[in-house]
Amino acid sequence: MNSYTLSHIAPANPELLRKDVFIVLLHATRIPPHIGMLTNGFYHSLSVKGQDLDVPIDILWKGVVQRKIPSLFIKIRSLRDSTPELLSGEFKKHVRCFNRVDRGVATCLSPLKLFFAEQFGLSMEKVNYLYELLPLLESKELIGQVFGYGLDVHTESSFTLPYYTMDEILKGIEAVRIEYK
């Protein structure tokens, strides 16, 4: 599959994002987008700069709004008796498995793959891109409501993730690395 469309996107605001677990796409229209997770109002991700852990939603939201970053927040339903607090600790554990995003080592998707494999028993063998992860989560009924900010969504409030290749991911990693040197 080379693309994935998210439908019924509602407007995001920090109050809606303080509880539960969300996959976060920052720069959702960029190739590739940056991926992280929001758990109980705290953002966690792996980036070129390193590990971002326990960033409060208010700080994340302020940056998104000030910099006008097109963003998506995809709610994850739990099929287990897991709490958002437990899932938060588990996701942070997987972020800590890597020092930073680096060629041949990890992408920002890497901690999510480990998380969904361990917490939900999903096979990640064929998942290399977000547009491959999301249909798998949908097939297991793990995707809940989707919220967006700064997106030019169509009249039916849908958004198709851009298709990208591993080469484009590696080029994106290098571009960000140069930007932050």
For 147-173, write each residue's pLDDT tens digit. Answer: 999 987 554 588 888 788 888 888 877
pLDDT computed for residue 157 by the predictor: 84
Q: At what angle do helices 84-95 and 110-120 cross, to 10 degrees?
A: 130
Task: For 73, list phi and psi in degrees, rounded to 5.
Answer: -130, 110
Tell me the residue range of the domain where 85 lies.
Answer: 5-179
State residue 154's pLDDT score.
52
**What is the sign of the dihedral through the CA atoms of 137, 78, 87 and 149?**
positive
Cβ–Cβ < 8 Å for 67, 149: no
Q: What is the pLDDT of residue 181?
A: 63
Quote the CA–CA distance of 87 and 78 in Å, as a whole number: 9
Tokens of 56: 């409060």
The DSSP line for 24-36 is EEESTTSSSPEEE
Domain total in the chain = 1
Residue 155 or residue 57, greater confidence: 57
Tokens 């080592």 correspond to 105
